[in-house]
Amino acid sequence: MQKVTKDLASATQEIIHSTEKVVRDYSPKVAATLDDTMKDTSLAFRKAMSNIDNQTRGQQVKLLQSYKSFLYKQADIIEKRLNKLKK
């Protein structure tokens, strides 16, 4: 029984170390990718708003309503993914 306990403790420690290594190795890459994606998204948003500013008032209203609808759909997709992950 003592050997089984030692083996289990050793295996648990190995899992902890390998998980820590994966987090150390991949976490910065994921964070950098998310950072780049957020910068690209922000740039695209600014460009879209700038293009909308060049339209007539009526066109601006229609474009902004469409863009708002698009963003709500994206937020809904994110919410669904979060809910799945929380289950």
- Residue of higher predicted confidence among 26 and 69: 69
Residue 3 and residue 35 in one domain: yes
Same domain, 1 and 41: yes
Position 73 confidence tier, pLDDT thresholds 50, 70, 90: very high
Question: Does 44 share its domain with 60?
Answer: no
Q: What distances in angstroms separate CA 58 from CA 46, 61, 67, one per listed residue?
A: 20, 5, 14
Higher pLDDT, 15 or 6: 15
- Residues 2, 34 within the same domain: yes
Measured distance CA(85)–CA(82) in Å, rounded? 5
* Boundaries of domain holding 63: 56-87
60 and 49, same domain (yes or no)? no
Residue 12 and residue 37 in one domain:
yes
Confidence of residue 41 (pLDDT cuts 50, 70, 90): confident
Are 47 and 72 in the same domain?
Answer: no
Looking at the structure, tell me whether residues 69 and 35 fall in a common domain. no
Task: Give pTM, 2 decimals.
Answer: 0.57
